[in-house]
Amino acid sequence: MDFKKVTFLKVYTGEDVIVEDMPLFKAVIKEAMRLKLAGGTVTRGIGGYASVKRGIDYKIGSFFTGLPNMPVTVEIVDTRENIEKILPWLEKNATKALVLVEESTCLITDYMREEEAKKAQEANK
């Protein structure tokens, strides 16, 4: 078995946090794609709380209107070098979020080997 060091980027925010005229979680994914980071996942929570209010402050009636205000987590896994590319953007734009950067180890799968081989072929063209 082969293993590889990777870096996790986790952004904890809410559906109601807006940046660049879109929800923060969508803006993070858009920026990650622009920077060609390896890949990301957005997960919507079914509940949660924060120590302070974030984003848009909805009135009590919003519960009945169906306006979104659920917790959202964005997870991106890539090399430390690539994750560091998005950190200045996050520092500027993710003011209503918790951003975590964690080191980890992943098992290298056949899929990962195939993707690395494709990248090497493209680089040699």
Give the sign of the dihedral formed by CA 90, CA 28, CA 43, CA 52.
Answer: positive
CATH of the domain at 56: 3.30.70.120
Residue 92's domain spans which residues?
A: 3-123
Q: What is the pLDDT of residue 53?
A: 61
pLDDT of residue 60: 44
Give the separation between CA 15 and CA 36, rounded to whole angstroms. 24
Give DSSP secondary structure letters for 83-108: HHHHHHHHHHH-TTSEEEEEEEEEEP
Q: What is the pLDDT of residue 55?
A: 53
Count of domains in the chain?
Answer: 1
Give the pLDDT of residue 61. 41
User: Please, are residues 97 and 4 in contact by the beta-carbon 8 Å criterion?
Assistant: no
Specify which residues 8 forms β-bridges with: 77, 102
Q: What is the mean pLDDT of each run of 10 residues along the chain (125 residues)?
A: 95 92 96 95 86 54 56 96 98 96 96 90 87
